[in-house]
Structure 1
């Protein structure tokens, strides 16, 4: 029982560490490529077009990267609701698009992993 707790705790710590690394990568991209990313969404949502997030706090910069990576990862959702423009998405630089899509899926995977570890940990404690 103690071994299982140590394994689940260690994996949980690893997931948290990876989440902090993902946040660091998102902040790095925001500070180095924030203007470029915002400039490619001129015809999309006004908040992205104005780049209102990048001039604010760290939280605002994370929102900028998160919003853009969400649009690039799930374009159909945003196009259907009129929040993004297809031309903006198509004109986005492919290498940066790949990085943002990988970052988005990686963070989704980390959140799902953490939820699974919590569920497994709770189920293991009940038995």
Structure 2
């Protein structure tokens, strides 16, 4: 259980780093996506947590682009042109964070009984 908490903390730390370092680049590269623009408008006044949330939401869009393109809130050409190095960092940190969180709750419920 404690190793999952460590992985969750690493995932959160990586997302914080990405939010501080790359959020402006991420939003400029995905400026044609209404999903990113709307999140920027909604959460820009939320301070640091807003930056972190916008980074996580952009990572979610990059992880499952088909859903967002079908709904018409993302531009497929911008997603395909997105810088590969940043995309890999975002997907690893967001995917690791989600996987460790899900595993934590599943194992917690299994071991509770």
Q: How does 1:105-124 map to 2 (within 5 A)?
A: 105-123=95-113
Query: Which sections of structure 1, spanning at least 5 residues, go unmatched?
Result: 1-10
Higher RCO, 1 vs 2 (CA within 8 Å, ≥6 residues apart): 2
Out of 93, 98, 103, the position equivalent to 2:93 is 103
SS in 1 for 2:30: coil
TM-score by length of 1: 0.77
Out of 26, 33, 36, the position equivalent to 1:37 is 26
Q: Quote the Cα distance in structure 2 between the aligned partners of 1:55 and 1:40.
A: 21
Partner of residue 82, structure 1: 72
Q: Which moved further from structure 2: 51-60 or 86-95?
A: 51-60
Q: Quote the Cα distance in structure 2 between the aligned partners of 1:85 and 1:61.
A: 21
Return the index of the structure with the highest Cα Rg.
1
State whether residues 11 and 94 of structure 2, in contact with CA within 8 Å, keep that contact through their aligned partners in structure 1. Answer: no
Partner of residue 6, structure 1: none
Bigger helix share: 2
Compute the displacement of 1:17 (Å): 2.6
TM-score by length of 2: 0.86
Query: Which sections of structure 2, spanning at least 5 residues, go unmatched?
Result: none
Partner of residue 66, structure 1: 56
How many aligned positions are there?
Answer: 111
